[in-house]
Structure 1
């Protein structure tokens, strides 16, 4: 069974105090749902290590923007530090994006891409995708879909034509206005 992940992350206990917003955008460059979480206060920071780089992804004052493009097999989470600088773009490959009474969501297909501000692109959780296929959580068609989507996005990112990344600051500012 695929894991459904919600943009507002209602079950995330690490965030003690938060502000959040959600809107639907329909423009020439992006159509889909957007969510923004501002972590005013967290229980503790969280970091990940990629190679020799340790990246703090959540701390007091950090903001997470999640973009759920309509009719796409990916969702993008942009993580901003307390000064508003991008610390990473985390791209979930997914079966579908949708929306219900809890807000925008995506059905995770295990495979992820991580783009660091310096341009380094990391493929993550390929082993989880392989394991899901082996254990019949997904079939060959979904496995192939995940890899095809990842390869397509890698090309767009390398060509600097992946719109959610290009729009991340704009979307963040637009949603922050709803906090006031």
Structure 2
């Protein structure tokens, strides 16, 4: 069974106090849900490490913007520090995006992730998890192929600076900040 991740991240124990907003956007460049979490108070900062460099991805006052495009097989989380600087874009490859009966957007995770740093560096993660999920029957060949193809397409778009959601992250953040 695939893990379903919700935009409000209500099960996130690290975040002690949060502010949350969401909206549905239907524009020329984006169609889908966007959510924003402001981590007012966290129990402890969270760090990620890339090529031996640790970066803080969650701390007090950070913003996590998540974009759930309709009819696409990815979801993008843009992490902003407490000063509004982008820390990273974390792209989940997913089977589908949807919305719950409580109107909270979600995505079904297909294991592969693409991380983009503001420097332009790209990291592809969890290929081994995708392989394991296929071998143990968690996903079928069609899902496996979908994840690999979506990851390849996104990597190409990112390298050519043509991945629209990265370009829209600041605009979407500003829109939702008005709702908090």
Task: Specify if TM > 0.5.
Answer: yes
Q: Report the equivalent of 1:149.
A: 150
What whole-Å deviation, never above 9, does each CA across 1:48-95 have from its counterpart, x for those lacking one? Answer: 111121111000000000000000000000000000000000000000
Measured in 2, the distance between the counterparts of 1:52 and 1:132 equals 28
Displacement of 1:110 in angstroms is 0.3
Would you say the 8 A contact 1:98–1:105 is kept in 2?
Answer: yes
**Cα deviation digits, residues 99-135 of structure 1 (max 9, x gap):** 0115000000000000000000000000000000010
> TM-score if structure 1 supplies the norm length?
0.98
Q: Distance in 1 between matches of 2:18 and 2:153?
A: 34
> Structure 2: which 5+ residue stretches go unaligned?
none
Which residue does 2:141 correspond to in 1?
140
Q: How many residues are aligned here?
A: 179
Deviant stretches of 4+, over 4 Å: none
Q: Is the contact between residue 32 and residue 67 of structure 1 (CA under 8 Å) also seen in structure 2? A: yes
* Structure 2 equivalent of residue 79 of structure 1: 79
Find the counterpart in structure 1 of residue 20 from structure 2.
20
Any conservation in 2 of the 1:6–1:102 contact (CA below 8 Å)?
A: no
Please say if residues 111 and 123 of structure 1, whose CA atoms lie closer than 8 Å, have aligned partners that are also in contact.
yes
The superposition leaves residues 7-54 of structure 1 with CA deviations (integer Å, 9 ceiling, x where unpaired) of: 110000111111000100000010000000000000000001111211
TM-score (norm 2): 0.98
Unaligned runs of 5+ in 1: none
Q: Which residue of 2 aligns with 1:107?
A: 108
Give 2:61's aligned residue. Answer: 61
Distance between the aligned counterparts of 1:102 and 1:29, measured in 2? 22
